[in-house]
Structures are given as C-alpha cells and as structure tokens.
Amino acid sequence: MFPRVILWAACALASISPAADKPNILLIVADDLGYHDVGFQGSKDIPTPHLDKLAAQGVRCTNGYVSHPFCSPTRAGLLTGRYQHRFGHENNPAWLPESTQDGLPLDQITLPQLLKQAGYTTGHVGKWHLGAHPQFHPMKRGFDESFAALGGGHVYFPGAKGGPEYQIPLNRNGVDEAQKGYLTDQFGDEAAAFVQRHAEGGKPWMLYLAFNAPHTPLQAPQERIDQFKHLPDMNRRIYAAMVSVMDDNIGKVMSALATTQQRDNTLVFFVSDNGGPHLAVKGNGMTNFTDNTPLRGAKGALYEGGMRVPFLVSWPAKLKPGVYDQPVIALDFFATAVAQAIAAMPSDRPMDSVNLIPHLNGETQAAPHEMLFWRSQGPNGLHAARMGNWKYVALPGQAPELYDLAADVGETQNLAATKPEILSRLQAAIADWEKGTIAPIFESPKQGKPKARGKKKAD
C-alpha cells in the first residue's frame, strides 16, 4: 500500500480523462559514465553508435546536470522531482535489510506512482540503490514490474569477485533469482522484452532502465576488451569495453521500440548518475580511466566534473533534433513526464522539477531555472550554485570560488574577488535554499554499520 500522503493524487487524477496519444516514457541511466566517454560528447576512444543515433534523433543538452555528484541521492532526486536534500536523502544507503530508515523515505511521491495512477504500466530494470528493506522495494514504490540489482552495485559475471553487497542475488518481482550471464546484457534483454511485451497492451508504459555499467568492478567480456587493445591502460581498456556493451544494449532496446512501431511516441531520457570517477585501483595506484574532458573534477566533487553529465531528451513525434544550451537538471524528467501523461504534479510540497518540452521545442525562450543548487556532506559541507553562466563553489575552510562557465568551463579562473555582487547574490540564494532542506537522515556506509541519524523535519 502507498503512504496516505499520496492519496490526494488519486483524487486529483480521477477527473483527468486518458489521452490516446500519451507517450511511453523510457528513462535510461548510466552509472559513473565519464562526460567525454561517448561519441556524441566527442570521444574518439569509445565508439557508441547507438547513443550517438539517439543524440542525433533528439535534443542534446550541453548544460545538463544531475542533482548530486554521486549515486543514490541522484536517483532519489530523479524519481521524486525534488532536491533530495529536502527529505534527507543526501548519502548512499548502506545494504541493511533490517533498516527502515536507510532508503528513499516512504512519504516521498515517486514518478512511477503518479504515472501508474495516470494509466501507465510501470517497469524497472537494473540498479536500485534506494534502500534494502522490503518496504523500499521498487514494487512498493510504484513499479508494476522489477528486475533488479537492489544494492549499490553488482558483479558483472556470475561468481565474479566483489564485495558482499555486489554478490547478492538479482531480484525479479520480489523473488531472488540467480544471475545467468553478463549483467549488462541481462538488463538490456529484460528491457527489450518489456518494450515488446507491452507494445500491444493498449496502455502507455514507463520503463526506468538503470544500468550499473560502467561502475566498478571493472569486468567485461574478453572479446570486447580485445577490441580496445589500442588503449595502453588496462583499466581504461576494460572500462571502454563496459561502455561499449552498454551502448549495444541501449541499441537493443531502441531496436525493440522501432520494430514494435513505438519509437515515434516514446519520450526517451538519457543521463549518467554523476560524472566519471577518478579512483585508486588496488595494485595500480591512481588511475583516471574515465574522461571528463573539458571539465574539472570527478565523481564526488561539486566542480563540473562531478555532476555535469551527458544528457539527452528524444521524442520524435514532438521534438526536433538539436542542441539546447540552457542549464537543465535531471530533476526535470519528473515534471516533463508527468505533463505528457496529463497527470497532476504534487501540490502539497515544494517541487523543483520543470517540464522541459516547451523549452526544448522553442515554445518558450525563458530559461527553465533561474538557479540550480548542489550540496554534499550536509549543511556544513560542500555547496555549489549556478545562475546563468555563473557558478559558485563553497568548500569548508576555503575561500569562495566563482567561475564564468561560458568563458571558463574548466573552472580555472576564480573571479570571486572581482565580482563581489554576483558572489553575494549566489551566497544569499544558497542560504535561502538551505531553509527548505534538512540534515541527512542516514550516512553513507562505513563497514556496513548503521550510523547516527539526523533529525527529520516536516517538508
């Protein structure tokens, strides 16, 4: 059963008649993909023909962001259309099946819940990472079907090496299931099957396809690794193979859309959950096997490399292909999908999501957002904000930083001392935004033990 707080939606939607032309919604999320590691972003190392075709058929958002520089918080924002800081989901939940707190809070209304009430069939394939307790299961959060790796990651081959959380069974509709093959291929097969299965159902559908690729562990089929022998670094070679296999499986899903004649009226979003990581890999020291060129920083940072990501929106029936340069954020997928489903946005809480379609089709020239905000490590941690081309970064114990991203996308020239009025405006905006947030309600896992909890306030 859904929490009482969403009952308003059922009442609101009861008066909305179904529309025959409601689009299908396909939300594809990559995991730890480098900004420059796909062809449509300029990569020469890793061919991604299927993603490049999707980019050519849609709108490439050159200033596209996610709401957090690492995994689970981004996903919490994506599925709720709200800055996750409003409800305390600012860290990664530990794999604690006994914990009713380490996960996406039950009072948060999810996109599949709204779309389901609007007449959609809803499906989830892939990584979940929004809580291990059964109350957080995808099918308790609005999905009719789920084929999931429920934790924060997973091994790619059956029996491969990985931490305990990465070796838990897969889960189909609440029942554990053994892994049968290379995981990226399994997720692609399941997603394509969902598309085919619901082609003639008479109902629109929403599919959340969350690959765990190319997140570590670095594991890929040897024959695919061999295709990248020209790359001198072995970690980069395996990573490239993982991205390539993910691209093939996105192509598999897009082919299923085309062969079932659903492509034109399917609204497709593609994004990475954060920037590519720069990791210390055991035995090899520091290796930057991802490429975030031309951005500064990587996963975990509030510089552009942490949360500015490859970002696509494609809907052949309604959107002409092109490029969109205004700042947008993955939170916007929520309102965009809800608007096309002729559903009602939640009215009992602040929402941060904007319907992008009028902006992407040229109906309005206004920017979708006056400001965008980021925070990591709680109220006393890292902060950033963007206003137009201006980007403010505040790190604890350090001088404020201000960058003109139009002239300096790599964030190399700190203009805080020469632009005090702009700096003050952004600082004041963050202080005001903070009033609508709370402290994290759980901490990221450290040795798998639950941590002290922050106090939750009503939002």
Question: d(Cα 190, Cα 197) in Å, to the nearest integer?
Answer: 10
List, in order, residues 6 or more apart from 396 with CB less than 8 Å away.
380, 381, 382
Catalytic site includes residue 129:
yes
Sign of CA dihedral 405, 302, 278, 68: negative
Question: What are the φ and ψ backbone dihedral angles of 363, each rounded to 5 degrees?
Answer: -65, -35
Contact 43, 243 (CB under 8 A): no
From 71, 154, 198, 359, the catalytic residue: 71
Q: Cβ-count burial of 451 within 10 angstroms (0-12 exposed, 13-18 middle, 19+ buried)?
A: middle
Burial 308-328 (b: 16+ CB within 10 A, else e): bbbbbbbbeeebeeeebebbb
Catalytic site includes residue 71:
yes
The gap from C-alpha 72 to its chain's centroid, in whole angstroms, comes to 9
From 36, 85, 124, 129, the catalytic residue: 129
Question: What are the φ and ψ backbone dihedral angles of 13, each rounded to 5 degrees?
Answer: -80, -15
**Encoded tokens for 14:** 């009861």
Question: d(Cα 392, Cα 30) in Å, to the nearest integer?
Answer: 27
Question: d(Cα 371, Cα 348) in Å, to the nearest integer?
Answer: 22
β-bridge partners, 375: 383
Question: d(Cα 335, Cα 97) in Å, to the nearest integer?
Answer: 31
List, in order, residues 6 or more apart from 451 with CB less than 8 Å away.
442, 443
Cis previous bond, 217, omega within 30: yes
Helix (H) or strand (E) holding 339: helix 332-340
Question: d(Cα 318, Cα 320) in Å, to the nearest integer?
Answer: 7
**Which residues are marked as active site?**
71, 129
